[in-house]
Amino acid sequence: MNAHSIVSKIVKLGVGAVLVWVGADIAAHAQAPAVKLLTQKALSEQAALTVAEGALEKCHADGYHVSVIVLDASGLIKLQLRGDGTGPHTLEHGRRKAYTALTFKRPSAETAKAWASSPTPPPVIEGTVAAAGGVPIKAGDDVIGAIGVSGAPGGDKDEACANAGIARIQELLK
């Protein structure tokens, strides 16, 4: 066998290997899921305002001065209101309550109870807090935001106000 026929065979083998590799790559892409856009529900500014107003009205009716924070699904502040007569800490504390509810997809009170009863230390997730008063806002099973209330004399009272706010948009959440 001369050098020319050896090179010719190597080239043929190389081309064959490339064709096998390209064919395998095409087959892999053909089986990949279709590319599509997601459709998601989002908390509008009007819905966030309605939730906050409902929470404030409930707390005011009960004689509490509170701050209210509403977060969107990504954890960013959609609305923040420091109520008259509240301490400066209520804004950050309310935000952390809402962020905890959003992160764990349940009321912050439930997360606090789970952490307290766990034999292992709670996870260290910056921005979360073991305190009642944060409630996720759910459209069906999807968490589209959260509300945190701070300033009432007890987290259970903060949570009642948060729930009253969410109740104002209940029809939108179905």
CA separation for the pair 6, 71 (Å, rounded): 70
Residue 69: per-residue pLDDT: 98
Residue 50: per-residue pLDDT: 98
Instruction: Give the full edge-to-edge strand order of the sheet including 77-81.
Output: 77-81, 67-72, 142-150, 134-139
Is-above-0.85 flag for pTM?
Answer: no
In the numeric block, which tokens belong to residue 158? Answer: 């903060």
Residue 29: per-residue pLDDT: 59
Average pLDDT across each block of 10 residues of the chain; the chain has 174 residues. List them in order: 60 54 58 86 97 98 98 98 96 98 98 95 94 97 97 98 98 94
Distances (CA, A) of 13 to 9, 21, 27, 72: 6, 12, 21, 58
Torsion angle of C-alpha atoms 170, 166, 97, 59, degrees rounded to 10: -160
Q: Count other Cβ atoms within 10 Å, centred on residue 114.
A: 13
Residue 32: per-residue pLDDT: 74
Residue 4: per-residue pLDDT: 59
CA separation for the pair 55, 42 (Å, rounded): 20
